[in-house]
Amino acid sequence: MLPKCFQKPLLAVALSLSLGGLANAELVVIVHPSNAANIDNTQVQRIFLGKEKKFADGSEATPINSVASNASREQFDTKVLERSSSQVAAYWSKLVFTGKGIPPKELENDAAVIAAVAADASAIGYVDSAAVTGSVKVITLN
Amino acid sequence: MKKIITLGVLALSSFASQAELRINGFANLVGGLTSSDESLYGYDDNMSFNQESLFAIQISGDINDKMTATGQLVARGDNDYDPDFEWAYFTYAATDKLSISAGRLRLPLFTYSASKDVGYSYHWMSTPESVYNVPFNNLDGIRFDYSTYAGDWEYSASLSAGTFSGTAFGADVKGENVLVFSAEAAYEWFKIRAVAGTGKTTIELASSTRNDVIQLGQGLAQMAAIGFSDLANKLLLEEDTGQFLGLSAQVDKFDWFVSAEVTSVTAEQSFLADTVAYYITAGIRQGAWTPSITYEKSKTDDDIKFGGEIAQIATSGLPAPVVQSLSALAVGSQLFTQSETNVLSATVRYDYDTNIALKADISKYSDDLNDANDATLVRFAVNYVF
């Protein structure tokens, strides 16, 4: 039997380990480190659906998407855009074939998205939190 | 030598940076057949792939930051897959909210007007014919599109002006001074839309591929020659005002959706009966599957117009056979355009991939004025976008 004072930290370590495992599959939105705009869920949704072309501070926003085969993409479509990937494709097909919009550029994987966001002050993308590097700024969505 | 190569590379790269070309496309491969001895939408009881299949390529390029040129080349099965530039227009993004397009473009009459040909974009086999089958889908002219949002509501409006040409009763239809206004409001899962349009419309009966329609034109010419030019002019659709009204509502809760659209087409000073058409559709989304049902109805007004003028034929003192045939023509031409039909469809869509959908559909068509036209149609489709 361990003294009581030892039990708590152990429990905390165990908890943080299991949470850490979950957090590996967590999706985060990323922007250029210089981007100071306030960004919420609705804005991310509007930017990625082509309804909004600027951040809240008036600066230009360039959404960077992931290819459909990337696991982050499906998670982003269902959680943030609140549609299935097929529905998002159907949504864009309506806009593309009427000249009303151009879907965001799609990159091959999380590393490519991070590189693109790090290189462009107007860029906004999303990746698995485990892939995040110091070259981009993470936005916490509610 | 080295210098030339460098220059060549420079020229290439600057060309590429100025005009980024985007190539997109869509295709619908639709096969269908009716039950024995029936026909519907061009299908009969032999399997056919030519009625609704189409392949389209769209090329668009940015001329500068604000201007884009778009061309859409469509090859339709019912036109022997001869490619046609159905759309070709310039778009100028005046502001983030306002864009102006000019050229040949889709007239935004219906909720699904813009993507009518893109089977991938909706849950149906094709947009409900009872409502969407009008002879004026494309506009040569200009369209202003405005969109904005306030809080959780999104609003958009469009104003279109120009001319159209199409076909009805196998005859050429032309529209001039066309003006269409549409407005839409959307809140998360709810969308409502209203549209109103007007245009000076003409049907050239003599150009028809149908004998009965050509004869109708000749009959009306004789009516005018005999001295009833006032009535003949009223019956003919020649630069007469046509009106279009539409209203639609959509509820989409992701797991299920329901929507309805109603339209009214009128051309008061003509032999054409006023038409009201609507559909109501509902479906559920279960993983990759989207089963849905749709009920459509189209009904014309059954009044006979110009009763006063028609009565004058009887009191004109002309020989009885002439009176009879003129009256029959005045009434018959109007009865000719009367119809009352409905369609009940069950459709299932399967999302095979993020750019490919497979569909199957069974539609039961009923003609309330003539049972002989009733038909049951089964269709299968592959829809593709890239």
- pLDDT tens track for B94-140: 998 999 999 999 899 999 998 899 999 999 999 999 999 988 888 99
Determine the longest span between alpha carbons in chain B, in angstroms.
Answer: 96
**Confidence (pLDDT) at B19:** 59
Give the DSSP H or E segment for B204.
strand B190-204
**Confidence (pLDDT) at A37:** 86
Nearest-Å Rg of the Cα atoms of chain A is 18
**Confidence (pLDDT) at A13:** 45
* A20 contacts: CB under 8 Å, gap ≥ 6: none
| Gap between the Cα atoms of B171 and B205, Å rounded | 6
Interface list for chain B against chain A, based on CB atoms closer than 8 Å: 22, 24, 26, 56, 58, 60, 68, 70, 72, 89, 91, 96, 99, 101, 105-106, 114-115, 117-118, 120-122, 145, 147, 149, 152, 154, 254, 285, 288, 351, 354-355, 357, 385
List pLDDT tens digits, range A63-92: 999 998 898 998 999 889 988 888 898 899
Q: Which of B169, B313, B156 is nearest to B229 (CA)?
A: B313
Neighbours of B193 (CB within 10 A): 19
Find the angle CA(B360)-CA(B366)-CA(B372) to the nearest 5 degrees.
115
| Gap between the Cα atoms of A104 and B379, Å rounded | 34
**Residue A108 φ/ψ, nearest 5 degrees:** -65, -40
Q: Residue A6 pLDDT > 50, yes or no?
A: no
List pLDDT tens digits, range B246-259: 999 999 998 999 99
| Gap between the Cα atoms of A72 and A25, Å rounded | 9
Neighbours of B229 (CB within 10 A): 13
| Gap between the Cα atoms of A125 and A27, Å rounded | 10
pLDDT confidence band for A21 (50 / 70 / 90):
very low
What's chain A's length in residues?
A: 142
CA separation, residue B207 to residues B140, B167, B212, B351 (Å) = 21, 10, 12, 43
* A138 contacts: CB under 8 Å, gap ≥ 6: A28, A29, A30, A129, A132
Higher per-residue confidence, A11 vs A58: A58
pLDDT confidence band for A101 (50 / 70 / 90):
confident
Terminal CA-CA length for chain A: 41
| Gap between the Cα atoms of B250 and B247, Å rounded | 11
**Residue B49 φ/ψ, nearest 5 degrees:** -110, 0
Q: Locate A139 and state its tokens.
A: 């936005």
Best mutation site among B121, B148, B182, B358 for testing chain A: the one with the most A CBs within 10 Å? B121
**Confidence (pLDDT) at A142:** 63
**Confidence (pLDDT) at B243:** 96
HSE-CB for A125 with a 13 A CA cutoff: 33
| Gap between the Cα atoms of B233 and B271, Å rounded | 10
Q: Is A69 on the interface with B (CB under 8 A)?
A: no
Amino acid (1-letter code) at residue B94: A
Q: Taking CB atoms and an 8 Å limit, are A89 and B354 in contact across chains?
A: yes
**Residue B313 φ/ψ, nearest 5 degrees:** -60, -45
**Confidence (pLDDT) at B315:** 87
User: Which residue, chain included where needed, has tokens 């609705």?
Assistant: A42
Q: Taking CB atoms and an 8 Å limit, are A96 and B58 in contact across chains?
A: yes
Q: What residue spans of chain B are helical by DSSP H?
A: 2-18, 129-132, 211-226, 229-235, 307-314, 320-336
Q: Residue A15 pLDDT > 60, yes or no?
A: no
Amino acid (1-letter code) at residue A30: I
CB contacts, 8 Å: A94 with chain B: 114-115, 118, 121
Using 50 as the pLDDT threshold, list the residues of chain B that sit under it.
Answer: 1-17
Mutual angle of helices B320-336 and B211-226, in 10-degree steps: 140
Q: Is A38 on the interface with B (CB under 8 A)?
A: no
CB pairs under 8 A between A and B: 63
Q: Residue A95 pLDDT > 60, yes or no?
A: yes
CB contacts, 8 Å: A85 with chain B: 354
Q: Locate B128 and state its tokens.
A: 């409900």
